[in-house]
Amino acid sequence: MTVTTPATPETALTREQAEFRRLVARELAQRSDRGSAAASLAAVAAAVRTLLGDRWAATQAADARRKGGRRVHYLSMEFLMGRALDNALDALGLRDEVRAALGQGAPALDAVRGHEPDAALGNGGLGRLAACFLDAFAALELPSFGYGLRYEHGMFAQAIHDGRQVELPDPWLEHGNPWELVRPEQRYEVGFGGMVSHAGGLCRWEPAELVLAQACDFIVPGHGTDHVSTLRQWRAQAARPIDFAAFCRGAHEASAQHKQEADALNWVLYPDDSTPQGRRLRLRQEFFLVSASLQDMLARDQREHPGDMTGFGCRNAVHLNDTHPALAPAELMRLLLDEHGLGWDSAWRVTTAATSYTNHTLMPEALETWPVAMLEELLPRHLEILYEINRRFLADIRARFPGDEALVQRVSLIDEGHEGHERRARMASLAILASHKVNGVSALHSELMVQTIFADYARLWPERFLNVTNGVTPRRWLAQANRGLAGWLDEQIGSGWRTDLSHLQQLHALAGQKRLGTAAAKIKLANKRALAARIAQDTGVQVDPTSLFDVQIKRIHEYKRQLLNVLHVIARWQAIVADPDADWVPRTVIFAGKAASAYHAAKLTIQLIHDVARVVNSDPRVGDRLKVVFLPNYGVSLAEAIIPAADLSEQISTAGTEASGTGNMKFALNGALTIGTWDGANIEMAQAIGEDRLFIFGLRADAVARMKQLGYDPRLYVEENPQLRAVVDAIADGTFSPAEPERYRSLVQTLLQRDPYLLMADFADYVRTQQRVDALYRDPAAWHAMALHNVAGMGHFSVDRTIREYVEHVWGRAPGQ
């Protein structure tokens, strides 16, 4: 006789659980492919979405009733959400209901989960930060909206052909998006081009083209609360889809031109901006996001506070995630001046009260500017407004600093261009001018921000600048990604860490106990076995789960120095070959990451990783002592699979270049030890965890700056370090690319001649520090105690703490309130 566990009787279910079962059954009944993973996913997602819809309505009603406090509007061109199913089931407490709801014979939850595509509407850290923020908005019950674009294709999918990256379109909407709630009644017109008429002192923009912005909502559930947050993504539709007269004349292609132009706004995240057409499309996307979002905010505010436009800034925070949405203050000014009849001073007060801005990079070349000519063509009224903002601002500067025309030129919103360069509008300058608060994302980055790129503005308005160090959500990055560790933490210190991550501190007192180290080691090993299976499946490489998993996963970029990691791998390979019988700690070096499609040096790094991996992995003298793998198509879900299995986290950017990093936080939270430079949030992590519990190496930011100033010669380091010379020679002489010995010539030349990211200067210390890593790994008890101390120190890096700081210092009150 078979005994089956009886399903929970209907009567014992909560209202939501019962509703969930009913909704899943209803969805399944409508599908011909019942029993497939696709049908299960669609049914569960639709049921969850409906329940979240109820919570959404209750949240909006509660937010509208709230007196005081402000609604936060987070504008971002990127939201790197990843999968939604696991998170939603956890938040709603429905995980254990899925089996009963889907019925017998349904695929396992793991299979259903694996079927969900990642919502990869972002490039990297900046977009993932926005996604973590939405999670905290809900958990902290903060009245809020995230605003973004609904791209048909997010970040490209990465395939590897012959060791080279190939970009494929990301088909995430191929099977529809069961999470999306389309809001047909939430639509706004967004204009482009045309002219400005000035009649009777009134300005009116008459756009040549109108595009409809249609709201598509994604509801983000809160953990430990019924509150939810909203990601509102705009889909563009032509206001006049086809030119019917042209169509009837038989001019089919011409008749669809408007539709085509509108659709293009949704096609992809980051159209290749190496062409003028690509840059123009990007500007159109940015304005489309800004205009639709602001119209939506104003409409909501007017519903709740009819006739009180001047109070908008006190009730609403408009936050710019980097400068991509920096046209927001110009558009808000236009709406207030031209559509709502406010005077300049009053409109500017409202705008600056509402606006705040986060900077994400110090690299001057990454600061956005737009050709004035392009603005004039696409956004003529906004250009006028920019000029007027600038005229008033510069008059003020000239009054404060008479005769300092150099300062005027440096801080002007307009780069006047010279020697044939076109005039350009500086978006970071606009963002700073219009914001009451501007923040960097780690202590070091915020400090360097006011010392370097924004030094002039910081002198003008020192009180405007502050730091808010990034954080990550412990729900996704610990509770869901690492259920083994999470459950074990519940047993050791209680489950309070799930809502208040500072509870992790209690682990410090326990970390030295042998019993706990052994338990932590077991959890890690299980995660490593699972990853080893995935590596075998995805790359064909067999790796030893007991070897040290040394992991660097992030966008491939020169400043992040994946190449430095490769140099160490080559040095290690050469050393093993020279002395195979030494006491080597077996290592598996794991890479993942995408290179921007037009970024040649980054793509070459991917190819080098593959070339080195081929040589090392097939070298019989090396055996299991060293393996190198590159897991393709990095994204949120892959990160969730890799991070819990990492022993060592590579955070090795040139000091002063990584604004914060959040990958570093996810790793330490999962018990990996960090090898890293004194950069970004690594510094604050070291301070929180204990500096001797991380492997810190390399030049610090001040030394990097000094070295560059004095004249840095990478050749000197190569000449005096035979190990480094052997590594560089091997790359240069075609050891890893015998069929094409010249393949890495440009790469080696850059290293020897300019080495802008100081790999040569940091190499020796990096290799020495890797030896310290080996030494500790040989002592498992010491290693795992250290790992637990790392977890214990990570309470500060919860995104909940980050959002509390934003509320307290940036969003909570309008200036002067």
Active site residues: 360, 554-555, 560, 662, 666
- Least Å distance, CB 115 to ligand PLP, is 19
Q: Does 128 bind ligand PLP (CB under 6 A)?
A: yes
- Least Å distance, CB 777 to ligand PLP, is 22
What is the SS3 assignment for 196? strand
Applying CB under 6 A, the site for ligand PLP has a residue count of: 12
Nearer residue to ligand PLP within complex by CB, 119 or 585: 119
Nearer residue to ligand PLP within complex by CB, 271 or 661: 661
Nearer residue to ligand PLP within complex by CB, 315 or 555: 555
- Least Å distance, CB 155 to ligand PLP, is 9
- Least Å distance, CB 680 to ligand PLP, is 8
Residue 783 phi/psi, 5-degree rounding, is: -60, -50
Given candidates 639, 646, 761, 810, which one binds ligand PLP under the rule CB under 6 A? 639
- Least Å distance, CB 667 to ligand PLP, is 9
Given candidates 117, 325, 663, 795, which one binds ligand PLP under the rule CB under 6 A? 663
- Least Å distance, CB 687 to ligand PLP, is 18
Q: Cβ neighbours of residue 118 under 8 Å, at least 6 residues apart?
A: 81, 82, 83, 172, 635, 636, 637
* Only segment of 380-388, 531-539, 656-664, 739-747 that touches ligand PLP (CB under 6 A): 656-664
* Only segment of 328-336, 615-623, 634-642, 783-791 that touches ligand PLP (CB under 6 A): 634-642
* Only segment of 65-73, 98-106, 253-261, 657-665 that touches ligand PLP (CB under 6 A): 657-665
- Least Å distance, CB 554 to ligand PLP, is 4
- Least Å distance, CB 163 to ligand PLP, is 22
- Least Å distance, CB 486 to ligand PLP, is 18
- Least Å distance, CB 575 to ligand PLP, is 28
Nearer residue to ligand PLP within complex by CB, 238 or 685: 685
Distances (CA, A) of 85 to 2, 43, 44, 181, 814: 32, 11, 8, 15, 37
What is the SS3 assignment for 649? strand
Q: Does 644 bind ligand PLP (CB under 6 A)?
A: no
Q: Does 474 bind ligand PLP (CB under 6 A)?
A: no
Q: Does 759 bind ligand PLP (CB under 6 A)?
A: no
Report the alpha-carbon distance of residue 451 to residue 457 in Å, rounded.
10
Report the alpha-carbon distance of residue 128 to residue 134 in Å, rounded.
10
| The two three-digit tokens of residue 728, written as one number | 């560089």
DSSP 682-730: HHHHHHHH-GGGSEE-S--HHHHHHHHHH---HHHHHHH-HHHHHHHHH
* Only segment of 283-291, 662-670, 685-693, 755-763 that touches ligand PLP (CB under 6 A): 662-670
Nearer residue to ligand PLP within complex by CB, 355 or 473: 473
Q: Does 143 bind ligand PLP (CB under 6 A)?
A: no
* Only segment of 25-33, 123-131, 617-625, 782-790 that touches ligand PLP (CB under 6 A): 123-131
Nearer residue to ligand PLP within complex by CB, 315 or 554: 554
Q: Cβ neighbours of residue 412 under 8 Å, at least 6 residues apart?
A: 390, 394, 426, 429
* Side chain identity at residue 455, one-letter code: A
Residues in the chain, total: 817
420 DSSP 8-state letter: T
Nearer residue to ligand PLP within complex by CB, 293 or 798: 798
Q: Does 362 bind ligand PLP (CB under 6 A)?
A: no
Nearer residue to ligand PLP within complex by CB, 436 or 554: 554
CA dihedral 40, 44, 47, 50 (to 10 degrees): -120
Report the alpha-carbon distance of residue 566 to residue 589 in Å, rounded.
9
Query: Could you tell me the strand order of the sheet in which 673-676 lies?
Result: 626-630, 587-592, 548-553, 648-651, 673-676, 695-696
Q: Cβ neighbours of residue 277 under 8 Å, at least 6 residues apart?
A: none
Nearest CA-CA partner of 283 in 292, 293, 273, 296: 273
Report the alpha-carbon distance of residue 609 to residue 598 in Å, rounded.
19
Given candidates 661, 698, 714, 795, which one binds ligand PLP under the rule CB under 6 A? 661
Q: E-strand spans in 139-206?
A: 144-149, 157-161, 164-168, 181-192, 195-199, 202-206
* Only segment of 325-333, 658-666, 683-691, 728-736 that touches ligand PLP (CB under 6 A): 658-666
Determine contact, residues 121/148, Cβ cutoff 8 Å. Answer: yes
Determine contact, residues 689/711, Cβ cutoff 8 Å. Answer: no
Q: Does 671 bind ligand PLP (CB under 6 A)?
A: no
* Only segment of 31-39, 498-506, 632-640, 749-757 that touches ligand PLP (CB under 6 A): 632-640
Report the alpha-carbon distance of residue 389 to residue 393 in Å, rounded.
6
- Least Å distance, CB 472 to ligand PLP, is 7
Q: Does 635 bind ligand PLP (CB under 6 A)?
A: yes
* Only segment of 344-352, 425-433, 635-643, 790-798 that touches ligand PLP (CB under 6 A): 635-643
Q: Which of residues 400-429 bind ligand PLP (CB under 6 A)?
A: none
Q: Give the largest CA-CA distance in the chain.
A: 96
Determine contact, residues 580/621, Cβ cutoff 8 Å. Answer: yes
- Least Å distance, CB 445 to ligand PLP, is 12
Report the alpha-carbon distance of residue 363 to residue 756 in Å, rounded.
13
Which residues in 131-168 are b (16+ Cβ under 10 Å) and which e? bbbbbbbbbbbbbbbbbbbbbbbbbbbbebeebebebe
Q: Which of residues 163-222 bind ligand PLP (CB under 6 A)?
A: none
Q: Does 761 bind ligand PLP (CB under 6 A)?
A: no
Q: Which of residues 506-565 bind ligand PLP (CB under 6 A)?
A: 554
Cβ neighbour number for residue 115 with a 10 Å cutoff: 18
Nearer residue to ligand PLP within complex by CB, 435 or 649: 649
Nearer residue to ligand PLP within complex by CB, 458 or 689: 689
Cβ neighbour number for residue 548 with a 10 Å cutoff: 22
Q: E-strand spans in 721-815?
A: none
Given candidates 662, 737, 769, 798, which one binds ligand PLP under the rule CB under 6 A? 662
Q: Does 146 bind ligand PLP (CB under 6 A)?
A: no
Nearer residue to ligand PLP within complex by CB, 125 or 793: 125
Q: Does 498 bind ligand PLP (CB under 6 A)?
A: no
| The two three-digit tokens of residue 87, written as one number | 């998170």
Nearer residue to ligand PLP within complex by CB, 270 or 312: 270
Q: Does 594 bind ligand PLP (CB under 6 A)?
A: no
| Residue facing ligand PLP at closest CB distance | 663
- Least Å distance, CB 661 to ligand PLP, is 4
Helix, strand, coil in percent for the chain, rounding step 5? 55, 15, 30
Q: Does 83 bind ligand PLP (CB under 6 A)?
A: no
Report the alpha-carbon distance of residue 4 to residue 232 in Å, rounded.
44
Nearer residue to ligand PLP within complex by CB, 148 or 635: 635
β-pairing, 548-553 vs 202-206, is unpaired
Rounded to a whole number of angstroms, the CA Rg of the chain reads 28
Could you tell me which residues are beta bridge partners of residue 356? 319, 437
Q: Does 124 bind ligand PLP (CB under 6 A)?
A: yes
Q: Does 315 bind ligand PLP (CB under 6 A)?
A: no
Report the alpha-carbon distance of residue 65 to residue 77 in Å, rounded.
30
What is the SS3 assignment for 289? helix
Q: Does 595 bind ligand PLP (CB under 6 A)?
A: no
* Only segment of 517-525, 537-545, 571-579, 633-641 that touches ligand PLP (CB under 6 A): 633-641
The residues of the shown chain that bind ligand PLP, judged by CB under 6 A, are 80, 124-125, 128, 554, 635-636, 639, 661-663, 666
